[in-house]
């Protein structure tokens, strides 16, 4: 997987100096939040002034308190700081300070800026002295996003940039970014609005009821030096998050800006609320602050557990996840790999069949002109007898398939966007393209994180409305005409001596809805099916198992836990025979999907995630599904159902 496919936002402690310096200066007259006596405050201020004076002289130890290192030359330093909060206890004082350090040159250079908290120990005479304990404020997501956008180069013509962040517990966190090649006319970007202004406005538009993942999309003209202009945003509230816990953490964050800051118990409760929403780094820091202010408020075990959980923090987790995905890489059947290998083979030994295989891969990438060119080369080679007699059937199959694809290409949406894992066809003026790209970005991470499968390139078609979607998909599947079907994966397989071969695969969906949220789950679900097909090599996988995996990818089938629980209590669960038959509709379909999701949860809980992958791999190696379940789980599907019914319904 190339570096342009997945890139995290690396956590930086140094923020944009100008923004923070101006805010420090603007608030100099504001009295700090404090429970300190005048004498205590005077002692604290004196200790910090000594630190600042020493740092201004370029002392490395003093500058380390600000997270800075001395400049390479002897240029003078300018330091601006302000105490915003003070919490005093018998043991010492926790002090929050806003600061900015710049190197004084013809054009001042920011050395460090931000907000930090320092712990000062109380001496025997009641005065305060600095300690090595320092807490850095969480990174400024807005500054990180802006910096990321400005660092992106324009390499391959018009491009779209998706920068991703999440708001959890009242705080924005920068996550990752991804680029697409191509252009769409979703709206006319405001050329006078900077990326920072666009981000700020869009962040304020994000839903407030619960945690949210936000995608901010920018476009450019493709000209060197062209700036990135905001084109839209999409928001997704991941399933499984608790709005109550998110609201609680947000409320505590607001409270900690006031008098609550001065109480050890408040830092402890803030920490616990942060743990509830998964902000482990910030929560662990708050717990340490509580222990410093009053050791009796926090147990040693609680402190130890908090430190161990730092690895689970979103920014640590996303960097680890992206590194894991890069290690997985692209599938061996990815068009880029196949085209390179086939073209090398074609140079050494030209053949009509080889040219057709290259044409097929270009067609799957929506590079229709190249596909046509290689098809014409195949015709020329065929006329010159450059093929083996045994290739005739294959050649005819590929000629027919390419003719069909060329015909369908003329009726498919005309705007084409590409990333390494997706080739998107959409209508140029469809505003839902923003949500589609955001949903695909999330779907790929779900599949890679949950499956670890090297994926190929999947074609995605976004139609304007359900009738347009149905008109196309019903040519290949009756399901396309159902009013309940919001997306459909169409896969064309042919049987060979070595097993099924995928000639084409595309996910179809449509956009005539005012509710964009379902598109995230819908595409994750369909991409889950693509992953199942990839790992099972196109072999037949029990439908219930396939759907269980897909519903898990979408974050859980809506209401599946309570639906299964009600059905179990009423004695109306579908048997494994009914699940294997999968002849369901109406309410029975809702229950079937819910049971499939629940059984998949049970397998993962009892045997581990790898058990799911091992079953698919065995099926991909031509092991009958029932045998694959027995080989991996030690039980067949009927006994699996019995164990799930006894132990796995939550």
Token code pair at residue 367:
């590079």
pLDDT band at 214 (very low <50, low <70, confident <90, very high): very high
pLDDT reported for residue 517: 60
How many angstroms separate the Cα of 514 from the Cα of each of 201, 432, 433, 435, 519? 21, 10, 13, 11, 11
In a domain? residue 475: no
Which residue from 572, 576, 507 is spatially nearest to 544, judged by alpha carbons?
Answer: 576
Instruction: Give the domain CATH number at 104.
Output: 3.10.450
Same-domain check for residues 168 and 194: yes
In a domain? residue 21: yes
In a domain? residue 368: yes
Of 236, 252, 287, the last residue of a domain is 236
Residue 319 buriedness (CB in 10 A; 0-12 / 13-18 / 19+): middle
Per-residue pLDDT, averaged over 164-186, amounts to: 91
Same-domain check for residues 287 and 298: yes
Domain total of the chain: 5
pLDDT reported for residue 627: 98
Same-domain check for residues 135 and 161: no
For 104-226, where are the E strands, in sequence order?
109-122, 128-136, 159-168, 171-181, 212-219
pLDDT reported for residue 437: 95
Q: Which residue has the higher pLDDT, 453 or 564?
A: 564
Bridge partners (DSSP) listed for residue 161: 179, 218
The CA distance from 335 to 580, in Å, is: 34
pLDDT band at 328 (very low <50, low <70, confident <90, very high): confident
Same-domain check for residues 21 and 130: yes
pLDDT reported for residue 515: 55
Q: Which helix (H) or strand (E) holds 488?
A: strand 487-496
pLDDT band at 509 (very low <50, low <70, confident <90, very high): very high
pLDDT reported for residue 514: 53
pLDDT reported for residue 155: 67
SS3 assignment, position 101: strand
Boundaries of domain holding 372: 342-410
Kindly report which listed range (73-87, 155-169, 251-265, 513-527) carries the lowest average pLDDT score. 513-527
Q: What is the dihedral of CA 217, 223, 225, 231, to 10 degrees?
A: -20
Alpha helices in 309-414 (DSSP H): 314-328, 335-348, 352-364, 368-383, 392-409
pLDDT reported for residue 640: 98
Backbone region of residue 232 per phi and psi (left: phi > 0; alpha: psi in -120 to 50; beta: other values): left
- What b/e readout covers 405-419, taking b as 16+ CB neighbours within 10 angstroms? beebeeebbebbbbb
Q: Which residue has the higher pLDDT, 73 or 607?
A: 607
Query: 580-631 pLDDT, tens per residue?
Result: 999 988 788 999 999 999 999 999 999 999 999 999 999 999 999 999 999 9
Averaged pLDDT score across all residues of the chain: 89
Same-domain check for residues 222 and 248: no
Query: 12-71 pLDDT, tens per residue?
Result: 322 222 233 233 333 445 799 999 999 999 999 999 999 999 999 999 999 999 999 998
Same-domain check for residues 217 and 274: no
Of 236, 255, 286, the last residue of a domain is 236
Kindly report which listed range (1-10, 99-108, 544-553) carries the lowest average pLDDT score. 1-10
Bridge partners (DSSP) listed for residue 88: 93
**Does position 527 have pLDDT exceeding 60, yes or no?**
yes
Q: Which residues contact 54 (CB under 8 A, 6 or more apart)?
A: 61, 62
In a domain? residue 33: yes
Per-residue pLDDT, averaged over 508-512, amounts to: 88
Sign of CA dihedral 320, 204, 270, 121: positive
**Does position 388 have pLDDT exceeding 80, yes or no?**
yes
Q: What percent of the chain has pLDDT over 70?
A: 94
Kindly report which listed range (481-495, 505-519, 588-602) carries the lowest average pLDDT score. 505-519
The CA distance from 86 to 365, in Å, is: 60
pLDDT reported for residue 23: 31
Same-domain check for residues 21 and 126: yes
pLDDT reported for residue 24: 33
**Does position 303 have pLDDT exceeding 90, yes or no?**
yes
Contact 454, 330 (CB under 8 A): yes
Which residue is listed with tokens 């600061």? 99
pLDDT reported for residue 189: 63
The Cβ-side half-sphere exposure at 494, using a 13 Å CA radius, reads: 9
User: What global pTM score does this model have?
Assistant: 0.88
Of 118, 139, 160, the last residue of a domain is 139
The CA distance from 611 to 632, in Å, is: 6
Contact 492, 505 (CB under 8 A): yes
In a domain? residue 72: yes
Same-domain check for residues 167 and 128: no
pLDDT reported for residue 20: 31
**Does position 446 have pLDDT exceeding 90, yes or no?**
no
SS3 assignment, position 81: strand
In a domain? residue 22: yes
pLDDT reported for residue 410: 94
Phi/psi of residue 133, nearest 5 degrees? -80, 120
Same-domain check for residues 129 and 27: yes
In a domain? residue 319: yes
In a domain? residue 625: yes
Same-domain check for residues 123 and 173: no
Q: Which residue has the higher pLDDT, 74 or 250?
A: 250
Same-domain check for residues 625 and 648: yes
Same-domain check for residues 200 and 94: no
């Amino acid at each position: 997987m190339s570096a342009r496919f997945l890139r995290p936002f690396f956590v930086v402690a140094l923020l944009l100096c100008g923004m923070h310096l101006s805010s420090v200066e603007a608030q100099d007259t504001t009295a700090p939040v404090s429970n300190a006596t005048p004498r205590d405050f005077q002692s604290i201020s004196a200790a910090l002034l000594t630190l600042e004076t020493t740092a201004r002289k370029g002392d490395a130890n003093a500058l380390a308190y600000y997270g800075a290192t001395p400049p390479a030359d002897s240029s003078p330093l300018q330091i601006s700081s302000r105490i915003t909060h003070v919490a005093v206890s018998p043991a010492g004082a926790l002090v929050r300070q806003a600061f900015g350090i710049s190197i004084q040159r013809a054009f001042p250079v920011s050395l460090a800026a931000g907000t930090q908290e320092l712990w000062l120990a109380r001496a025997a005479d009641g005065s305060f002295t600095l300690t090595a304990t320092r807490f850095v404020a969480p990174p400024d997501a807005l500054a990180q996003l802006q910096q990321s956008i400005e660092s992106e180069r324009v390499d391959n013509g018009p491009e779209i940039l998706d920068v991703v962040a999440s708001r959890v517990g009242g705080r924005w966190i920068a996550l990752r970014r991804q680029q697409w090649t191509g252009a769409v006319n979703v709206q006319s970007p405001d050329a006078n609005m900077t990326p920072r202004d666009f981000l700020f406005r869009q962040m304020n538009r994000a839903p407030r009821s619960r945690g949210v993942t936000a995608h901010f999309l920018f476009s450019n003209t493709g000209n060197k030096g062209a700036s990135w202009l905001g084109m839209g945003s999409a928001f997704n509230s991941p399933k499984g998050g608790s709005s109550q816990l998110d609201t609680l953490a947000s409320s505590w964050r607001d409270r900690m800006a006031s008098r609550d800051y001065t109480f050890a118990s408040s830092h402890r409760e803030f920490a616990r609320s942060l743990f509830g929403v998964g902000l482990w780094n910030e929560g662990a820091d708050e717990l340490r602050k509580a222990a410093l202010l009053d050791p009796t408020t926090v147990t040693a075990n609680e402190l130890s557990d908090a430190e161990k959980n730092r690895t689970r923090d979103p920014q640590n987790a996303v960097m680890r996840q992206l590194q894991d995905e890069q290690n997985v890489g692209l599938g061996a059947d990815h068009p880029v790999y196949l085209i390179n290998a086939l073209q090398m083979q074609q140079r050494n030994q030209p053949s009509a069949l080889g040219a057709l295989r290259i044409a097929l891969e270009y067609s799957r990438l929506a590079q229709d002109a190249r596909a046509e060119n290689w098809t014409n080369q195949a015709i020329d080679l065929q006329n010159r007898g450059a093929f083996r007699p045994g290739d005739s059937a294959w050649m005819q199959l590929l000629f027919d398939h390419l003719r069909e694809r060329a015909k369908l290409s003329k009726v498919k949406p005309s705007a084409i966007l590409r990333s390494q894992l997706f080739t998107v066809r959409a209508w140029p003026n469809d505003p839902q393209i923003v949500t589609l790209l955001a949903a695909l970005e999330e779907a790929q991470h779900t599949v890679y994180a949950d499956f670890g499968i090297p994926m190929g390139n999947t074609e995605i078609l976004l139609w304007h409305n359900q009738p347009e979607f149905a008109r196309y998909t019903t040519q290949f599947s009756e399901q396309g005409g159902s009013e309940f079907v919001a997306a459909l994966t169409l896969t064309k397989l042919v049987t060979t001596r070595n097993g099924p071969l995928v000639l084409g695969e595309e996910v179809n969906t449509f956009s005539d809805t005012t509710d964009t949220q379902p598109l995230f789950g819908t595409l994750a679900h369909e991409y889950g099916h693509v992953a199942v097909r990839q790992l099972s090599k196109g072999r037949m996988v029990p439908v219930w198992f396939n759907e269980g995996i897909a519903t898990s990818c979408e974050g859980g089938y809506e209401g599946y836990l309570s639906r299964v629980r009600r059905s179990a209590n009423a004695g109306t669960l579908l048997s494994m025979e009914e699940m294997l038959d999968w002849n369901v509709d109406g309410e029975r379909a809702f229950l079937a999907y819910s049971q499939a999701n629940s059984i998949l949860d049970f397998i993962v809980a009892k045997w581990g995630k790898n058990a799911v992958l091992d079953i698919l791999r065995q099926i991909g190696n031509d092991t009958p599904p029932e045998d694959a379940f027995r080989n991996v789980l030690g039980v067949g599907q009927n006994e699996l159902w019995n164990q799930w019914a006894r132990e796995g319904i939550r």
